[in-house]
Structure 1
Amino acid sequence: MTDLIFLDSNGSSPLYMQLYEYFKAEIEQHKLAENEKLPSIRNLANSISVSKATVEKAYQQLMCEGYINNRNRACYVVNKLEETIVKPVYTAGKPKTSELTDNCKPRYDFASGEMDLNGFDFSVWRRYVNKVLANKERLFGYGHSKGETELRKQIGRYVRSRGVECHYEQIIIGPGVQSLLNTLCSLLKPTHSSIAFEEPGFTTGRRVWHNWGYTIVPVQMRKEGIDIRELAQSETRAVYLTPSHQFPTGYIMPVGERMRLLAWAQQNDAVIIEDDYDSEFRYFGRPIPAMKGLDSGGNVVYLGSFSKVIPPSLRISYMILPDRLLELYERNAALYNQAVSTIEQLTLAQYMADGHLERQIRRLRKLYYEKKMQFIDTIQRVFSNQVAIQDNESGLFIVLTVKRPGTSQDIFLKAMQHGCQVAPIQNYYWETVQESFPRVILYFSKIPVHEMEEAIKLLKKAWFEE
């Protein structure tokens, strides 16, 4: 069976969706019969060279839509389908994403860190768009490959609040972190063949590097951050980190550990990729300074995004390169076209210059702090001692331990059956781990305040009342 599976790692669709579409078509065409077993997650991942998380996510979607079921946890079998269901044969790399979304769209999405619908004033943004449109001469060109100078200068000022000092020429604008990672993969490919990731860690980031042919080295997380001793024992000379608010555990790497990691990087001429994905949302005390601000050896690549403070549909992220990688980028600048709209770049630059971004962050920080307190209070009241909350002082999510038998996949599916989508921690591991109780990530940013209690009661019904 697995010999016939072809996944396009360079396609626009995620690998798990391609895998989902393959099995869906096989079942609908009756090439996989009722009660026929699918390969185990581990065996399939090994045979087609993808992560276990990719296979698990595809299987979860198939289960959610009723194509397969899970017996004895590790055994996946095909469900009976009506004979009338016969659809065109699957074409690799062209999944029907709209069908995927429509079939299983949750009522409450706890798995998304998208903005609160009241979190952005579009009327202010519209004023700045109109100002940019009035200067038509700037809009009849492709712009600089690194991004518009005005925006890069504003970002240079902005990151000083994170303790980062840089020249605007070091800053590269991109339409999301994934796009910038593709650029970075190409820069490091001649000198690096592997990269370490936190375990658990950023799944999308790992997939990008894996698709470029890098060997992924999972390094265990501790409360103090990534295990530096384990990292040093590996042969990799690149590591991807979220030190100021580790995703998904929420841990913060102490300054002593950061200095040890920087010393390792300098001694081994290694590259540290620091993803500072939600640094704006620390609710108590001062913001944690970025590791890039401590980097005296030019070993840290710094990644940031505005997707948590302005609508993610605007898709503006940035990367700060150390000098040695900047020189390599500039030698190959013709290969890197700028993909972010000039209009949106210039709009954001003026929005920042007039102080609106700082005001927006302060407003969101207050909004999300109040939502988080209500979220935690409601969970504690509804669930009592049936769950344990791993709270932290930052971010837009909590980690919830669900004190009942079963796997994280069981928890995910039961929630989906009740109209709620959650994100199992297991999905963020490169390798399968055993847990005493399943753990899930719950984002609160997108859940309407007036529906929060109803949404959480649905989770309780899914997990403890059936």
Structure 2
Amino acid sequence: MEIRLAFERYFLQSGSKRAALYDSLRDAVRSGQLKEGERLPSSRSLAELYGISRGTVTQVYDMLYAEGYIQGERGSGTYVSQRIPYPSARPERVEQPSELLSTWFNRLDELKADKEGPPPFAPESQQAGRTFGQQLFQSGQTDFRLFPVKEWKVALHAAVRECMQENLPDGYREIPGSGLFRLREAVAAMLYMERGIAASPEEIVMTSGSKQGLALLFQILAEPGRRIVLEYPCYGGIREAASVTGAELIQAAVDECGAIPGNWDAAIAALTPNRQFPTGTVLSAGRRKEWLAWAERRGAIIIEDDYDSEFRYSGRLGEPLKAMDRNGRVIYLGSFSRTMYSGLRIGYAVVPSWMAPRLAQAKAFYEPYASGQLEQMALARFIAEGSYAKHLRRMKRQYKRRLAALHRGLDELEGTPFRFRPSDAGLHQYAEWTGSSADYDRLLQSCRKGGVAWHDGSSYFAGEPGGNKDKHFALFGFAHLEEEEIAQGMQAVAEQWSGIAGNGEDSRQA
């Protein structure tokens, strides 16, 4: 039997092997690393493991036995005591001196209270054998049941075989932080065919998800004293990445044509033009030209976050700003975390040629070699062999039907309390509440108890200048649910709403 103790650390502190073994064993018992009733190694094996005499181990065992930490009889072995004398033996918590924390971290820490997401809850119901650890209509989820596991395993196994065919003296392939070249080639070909974006592999940097791409770009481009334009409302991850830089944030209002351009003196604008988050509005063609003209006039950079344009179920995708850009003013971000699965942290940034080496340099500071190398190799093969496109087509067929089922459920609610513009893309439906604030709160809390609530979108509008505090917005996720689950969930919402609408006097007052 082998156990891992902090023997070396204690030996460096005390210089005594006996004291080091005693302290490390005692603390392993106190902390729970060694469980009550767990058998300890023999004195011979422990002596061999740590290069000390058997007599020293016996002395330490005797000391621990006398203090009640261990028990046992000759010939039957030594065990951790069932009743530990000091059950609360974790190191004393020391208050962290605030002056040791950087300004950057303090800005990050201030964002904790503003993080998006519903408040904690304790779901009480089960439906169709499923325990709702999360609310049924939570937004941003996909259905892993549709994922082609077999095909992905084949791609992963091929990547492993490829690695093993080469001599790897240090255990790593030397794939640079900017990503596997074959994968960047595959992404470039895919973007040109699907989105009309002409970019060379050298202008693409692979990232560990779009959030890392945002953070790196803001680190490169933003600092205190500069200004960043953000959509209002906008994705919380963009706001967080921008806020921690210390730059001044400017809000660009969003209407039915998308984010409204202005003549701001700013260095950066972060936009979601192809499906605005969270409203789902598509930036009009005229507005796209205005934003590009603003960037050229101001010498600014536009970060275009195309977070879920792959999920369009009808009509034609709008032309990306990156495809329209002729002056190197747009950086395009994409990710595979939703089209594949959330644990696959692979995203990419398509940047102007002058930015490519700078972004690669910044990423290499954190990751000299690419992370997830096997996954990058497998994904390049998965795309090249057509499995990725096939997977997307299957998801879109299913999600289109599920979105229609959600629309039916919302339309059938008594009095249609949610007003929405039917979406034909994305993973959630954005809707505005038309009733009273009190009724909304009652319905939301009631649905949360039943595990069938949605994502409350009101937080995206926090701090609206002159805004109406009684406005409420909802994001209904649907992609991760089968049509029957959606119908059952909306029926549960309808039942909760019928009880509230029938009893409340202010039910239809905006």
Asked whether the two chains share a fold, i.e. TM above 0.5, the reply is yes
Per the alignment, do residues 410 and 271 of structure 1 end up closer, same or farther by CA in structure 2, a change over 3 Å counting? Answer: farther
Pairing of 1:157-176 with structure 2 (within 5 A): 157-160=189-192, 161-176=194-209
Instruction: Tell me by how many angstroms 1:358 deviates.
Output: 1.2
Aligned to 1:203: 236
Per the alignment, do residues 392 and 451 of structure 1 end up closer, same or farther by CA in structure 2, a change over 3 Å counting? Answer: closer
Per the alignment, do residues 51 and 314 of structure 1 end up closer, same or farther by CA in structure 2, a change over 3 Å counting? Answer: closer
Pairing of 1:29-48 with structure 2 (within 5 A): none
1:301 aligns with 2:331: yes
1:456 aligns with 2:490: yes
Aligned to 1:318: 348
What is the number of residues matched between the two proteins? Answer: 386
Aligned to 1:128: 155
Pairing of 1:401-416 with structure 2 (within 5 A): 401-406=432-437, 412-416=444-448
Higher mean displacement: 453-462 or 353-362: 453-462
Aligned to 1:212: 245
Per the alignment, do residues 142 and 179 of structure 1 end up closer, same or farther by CA in structure 2, a change over 3 Å counting? Answer: farther
Instruction: Tell me by how many angstroms 1:276 deviates.
Output: 0.6
Pairing of 1:332-371 with structure 2 (within 5 A): 334-337=364-367, 338=369, 340-371=371-402
Instruction: Tell me by how many angstroms 1:147 deviates.
Output: 0.5
1:143 aligns with 2:175: yes
Q: How many Å separate the matches in 2 of 1:330 and 1:5?
A: 35
Letter in 1 for 2:353: D
**Is the Cα–Cα contact under 8 Å of residues 108 and 455 in structure 1 kept in the other structure?**
no
Pairing of 1:12-23 with structure 2 (within 5 A): none
Aligned to 1:329: 359
Secondary structure of 2:279 counterpart: coil
Residue segments in structure 2 that go unaligned for 5+ positions in a row: 1-95, 124-130, 501-510
**TM-score calculated relative to the size of structure 1:** 0.75
Instruction: Tell me by how many angstroms 1:449 deviates.
Output: 2.4
Aligned to 1:193: 226
Instruction: Tell me by how many angstroms 1:266 deviates.
Output: 0.7
Deviations 1:178-227 (A, max 9, x none): 11112112211369722111101111111121122222212111212211
1:247 aligns with 2:262: no
Per the alignment, do residues 328 and 426 of structure 1 end up closer, same or farther by CA in structure 2, a change over 3 Å counting? Answer: same
Aligned to 1:29: none
Q: How many Å separate the matches in 1 of 2:195 and 2:498?
A: 43
Q: How many Å separate the matches in 2 of 1:341 and 1:291?
A: 29
Per the alignment, do residues 134 and 451 of structure 1 end up closer, same or farther by CA in structure 2, a change over 3 Å counting? Answer: same
From 397, 400, 424, give the equivalent of 2:456: 424
1:263 aligns with 2:293: yes
1:119 aligns with 2:146: yes
Per the alignment, do residues 411 and 188 of structure 1 end up closer, same or farther by CA in structure 2, a change over 3 Å counting? Answer: farther
Higher mean displacement: 171-180 or 378-387: 378-387
Larger RCO (CA under 8 A, 6+ residues apart) = 1
Q: How many Å separate the matches in 2 of 1:333 and 1:377?
A: 46
Q: How many Å separate the matches in 1 of 2:265 and 2:442?
A: 37
Aligned to 1:95: none
Q: How many Å separate the matches in 1 of 2:133 and 2:468?
A: 27
Per the alignment, do residues 279 and 427 of structure 1 end up closer, same or farther by CA in structure 2, a change over 3 Å counting? Answer: same
Per the alignment, do residues 171 and 411 of structure 1 end up closer, same or farther by CA in structure 2, a change over 3 Å counting? Answer: farther
Deviations 1:354-381 (A, max 9, x none): 1111111111111111111122112223
Identity %, equivalent residues: 23
Q: How many Å separate the matches in 2 of 1:314 and 1:107?
A: 21
Instruction: Tell me by how many angstroms 1:386 deviates.
Output: 3.1
Per the alignment, do residues 249 and 334 of structure 1 end up closer, same or farther by CA in structure 2, a change over 3 Å counting? Answer: closer
Deviations 1:24-49 (A, max 9, x none): xxxxxxxxxxxxxxxxxxxxxxxxx5
Per the alignment, do residues 142 and 331 of structure 1 end up closer, same or farther by CA in structure 2, a change over 3 Å counting? Answer: closer
Letter in 2 for 1:399: Y
Aligned to 2:314: 284
Deviations 1:399-426 (A, max 9, x none): 2233321166665433322213422222
Q: How many Å separate the matches in 2 of 1:115 and 1:247?
A: 17
Q: How many Å separate the matches in 1 of 2:471 and 2:186?
A: 46
Q: How many Å separate the matches in 1 of 2:455 and 2:137?
A: 7
Letter in 2 for 1:443: G
1:434 aligns with 2:468: yes
**Is the Cα–Cα contact under 8 Å of residues 412 and 423 in structure 1 kept in the other structure?**
no
Q: How many Å separate the matches in 2 of 1:358 and 1:192?
A: 44
Secondary structure of 1:313 counterpart: coil
Deviations 1:310-353 (A, max 9, x none): 11111211111112322433555641415531000000000100
Secondary structure of 2:431 counterpart: strand
Q: How many Å separate the matches in 2 of 1:347 and 1:228?
A: 41
Aligned to 1:179: 212
Per the alignment, do residues 307 and 9 of structure 1 end up closer, same or farther by CA in structure 2, a change over 3 Å counting? Answer: farther
Secondary structure of 1:390 counterpart: coil
Q: How many Å separate the matches in 2 of 1:383 and 1:308?
A: 33
Per the alignment, do residues 387 and 331 of structure 1 end up closer, same or farther by CA in structure 2, a change over 3 Å counting? Answer: closer
Per the alignment, do residues 312 and 51 of structure 1 end up closer, same or farther by CA in structure 2, a change over 3 Å counting? Answer: closer
Q: How many Å separate the matches in 2 of 1:370 and 1:276?
A: 23
Q: How many Å separate the matches in 2 of 1:184 and 1:305?
A: 15
Per the alignment, do residues 393 and 334 of structure 1 end up closer, same or farther by CA in structure 2, a change over 3 Å counting? Answer: closer
Per the alignment, do residues 178 and 163 of structure 1 end up closer, same or farther by CA in structure 2, a change over 3 Å counting? Answer: same
Letter in 1 for 2:142: M
Instruction: Tell me by how many angstroms 1:308 deviates.
Output: 2.3
Q: How many Å separate the matches in 1 of 2:420 and 2:341?
A: 28
CA RMSD of aligned residues (A): 3.1
Aligned to 1:228: 261
Q: How many Å separate the matches in 1 of 2:103 and 2:441?
A: 25
Q: How many Å separate the matches in 1 of 2:145 and 2:362?
A: 42
Q: How many Å separate the matches in 2 of 1:5 and 1:427?
A: 32
Instruction: Tell me by how many angstroms 1:61 deviates.
Output: 2.6
Secondary structure of 1:312 counterpart: coil
**TM-score calculated relative to the size of structure 2:** 0.69
Q: How many Å separate the matches in 2 of 1:374 and 1:313?
A: 28
Q: How many Å separate the matches in 2 of 1:320 and 1:170?
A: 6
Higher mean displacement: 162-171 or 422-431: 422-431
Q: How many Å separate the matches in 2 of 1:197 and 1:342?
A: 33
Secondary structure of 1:323 counterpart: coil
Aligned to 1:61: 119
Q: How many Å separate the matches in 2 of 1:192 and 1:320?
A: 26
